[in-house]
Amino acid sequence: MDAKPHGAEVNRHAPPRTDVLALIDEMERSVASLRAVHDELDGQRSSTASLADERDGLLENSLAAQARIAHLSCEREEFHAALERARTDIAALKQQLHDAASMNAQWEAECASRASLCSVAEQSLDLLREQYEKASSDASRAQAECESLRASFDSLVIAGGSADQVNASTQALLGEKEALVAEYEDRVASLRRDCEARSRELESAQTNLRLATERLAVLAKHTVEQARKIAELQGLLAAVRTTGIANATASNAWDAERTALTDAFDAERTALHEQMAAVNETQQVAGADTSELLVLRAELARRAEFLTHRKETLHKYRAALRTRKAEWGAREIEIARAVEKKINEVREEARSDAKRDADQRVHEAVTEMQRGGGVPSVTMEEFHRRVREEEERQERERLEMSESRRLLTESEHELVRRYSAARGGMVLALSCIGIAVCASTAWWLSGELAPKTETATVDLAVTSRSGDTNAREAADPSAIIKFIEQAPADPAFHAAVAARLQDRGFTPAQANAEADLLAEHLKVDASNGAFVHLMYAGDARARMVLDTATTTLVNDVNKAPERKQDFLRVSIAGLRQDSGHVVFSESRAMADPGRALRAASIFGGAFGLALLVGFGGWACARRMPKSMEAVD
């Protein structure tokens, strides 16, 4: 009787079996949901790894594309430089051909004038010879008359005539004949001097004519040779045009042929300075180069379009990568929050007092069922063990997620560091190139703003033309030296030099300006006896100006009437050939200590301006993302 009410009381206070089963089902559902979350995390992890690999591949493709772009840019710059050099060479060849043609015409005119001078000199020489022979015969006849008069005088004295009358008449006749003889002797001496001068002029003209003829022959020979070489170069250009540029291999072959052609032009450049050739052939070569340039420009435009397309695709990939990366971060944060929330909920439920009461009731119910003979499917120890295992598994997953997050952050930092290093190297290389370009430009501008000063020198020698040794030793060159020292300040000398400079290609204004500078820049040094040293300081045309002034001065001195009396002449020392012209002077460039300071000033200004522009661009680049974020 008592046992039954006690059992009824236990059954009344114990929870029903359905509550325990519902709790177990709920826990199993939680475990299943956690496993689903774990599977989803595994999928996200594999997706993250694949996306990271894809991102690495895209970065590698980006770096390769950038390297290819830089390589193609270098090739394009080299090709443009080669084309500019070819154009410059063609223009130089045209100018050289024009100069050679004008030089040939000048030499032909000079040869014709010298031939006419030779004929005139020969006629004058023949006339002088006739006059000399006539004067010699007159002198001989006068001498014979004098001898006959002396004989008559002696016969008269012997005959005993009036000595005084005979002496007076004889002295008168002798005086007349002696005066006539002296006059004839003077005429003979003058004619002899004129004959000698004309003979020297004739010899000089014949020598110049022979030299001009030889130069014309050499020039014609070189012209034929250069025509053959230009025909060969045209053949090379035609072969280059037929090859084309179809792909990278063809481009390399064209580069090799272009290099060979450039070497051929460089090898022939020095020989083409004094030659002439047909202008039409050069224009055909220029037209061929223009067609090749158009083909290459089209090829470069096609490659630039391809690179632009690749760059746009790369930008799209980068934008998609940034978007997916943002999505990965957001989903990772959401998953981490959900896992932590679930773990906290489970922990709170396990630690709550209601849970402990439920565990106690379950334990009592299980004990009661064991007493009554029932066997529960899952004991409380097994349930607690599963809960602990689930907590440990979730803790491990949380640690794995943290480790994955750390690895992703480190990989991202490594990628950023590599990109920054590559960008820093590129910036350094571009900075070095910019500094080198600024320095070379500054040095060139410093030379253009203040051209270097050149000093030209020439030596004059005063010699005697007399055949008498005593006369040569007694000759005094002081008058000639004084004339040379006073010539730089003489306006007539300036006018003569200006006229000769105009004949050599100067404009009237330039010729007058250079002639006016002679009084200040032409220095005369006559401290070495019969040798006079002339020095002229000026620009790159100093040697031409000094040669013109020297030839004018020597011509004026040698044509002076006083030279017929003192038999002195002025000659130029150091005659030589330079680029097809006869030159007398030697020139050298003077040191310019201020050029380095000017170049440094120009370089500093350009570098400061570049820094300001770069800082302004950097500031605009930093301000632009902020403004875009504000708009977003």
pLDDT digits (tens, 9 = 90+) for 300-331: 566 556 656 666 766 666 676 677 667 766 76
Strand 568-573 relative to strand 576-578, pairing: unpaired
Given a contact cutoff of 8 angstroms between Cβ atoms, the answer to whether 512 and 498 are in contact is yes
| Whole-number pLDDT of residue 504 | 82
Please report, to the nearest 10 degrees, the dihedral formed by the alpha carbons of residues 14, 16, 17, 20 taken in order: -80
- Report how many domains make up the chain: 1
Has residue 602 been placed in a domain?
no
Has residue 195 been placed in a domain?
no
With a CB cutoff of 8 Å and minimum separation 6, the contacts of 209 are 111, 114, 115, 118
Return the amino acid letter for 543: R
Residue with tokens 């630039």: 304
SS3 assignment, position 589: strand
Q: How many CB atoms lie within 10 A of CB 256?
A: 10
| Whole-number pLDDT of residue 500 | 86
Token duo for residue 49:
């790894």
With a CB cutoff of 8 Å and minimum separation 6, the contacts of 354 are none
DSSP state of 577: E
Nearest residue to 87 via CA among 267, 253, 262, 216: 262
Nearest residue to 288 via CA among 236, 226, 249: 236
Return the amino acid letter for 534: L
Return the amino acid letter for 252: N
CA atoms of 81 and 281, how far apart (whole Å): 23
Give the CATH number of the domain where residue 562 resides. 3.30.70.1130
| Whole-number pLDDT of residue 253 | 46
CA atoms of 628 and 467, how far apart (whole Å): 102
Query: 121-144 as b/e, with b when 16 or more CB fall inside 10 Å?
Result: beeebeebeebbeebeebbeebee
Please give the residue range of the domain that contains residue 529: 454-591
| Whole-number pLDDT of residue 157 | 45
Has residue 17 been placed in a domain?
no
Instruction: Extract the residue ranges of the chain whose pLDDT is less than 50.
Output: 1-15, 156-163, 166, 240, 243-251, 253-254, 257-258, 261, 272-273, 275-290, 354, 369-370, 372-378, 471, 474, 580-582, 628-632
Has residue 181 been placed in a domain?
no
Nearest residue to 96 via CA among 273, 282, 279: 273
Residue with tokens 């201020």: 594
Has residue 160 been placed in a domain?
no
Token duo for residue 306:
């391809």
Has residue 555 been placed in a domain?
yes
CA atoms of 207 and 118, how far apart (whole Å): 10
Nearest residue to 538 via CA among 555, 558, 516, 560: 516
Q: How far is CA 118 from CA 122, 124, 206, in A?
A: 6, 10, 7
Nearest residue to 225 via CA among 282, 274, 279: 274
Residue 218, CA atoms < 13 Å, CB-side half-sphere: 10
Token duo for residue 29:
């559902």
| Whole-number pLDDT of residue 145 | 65
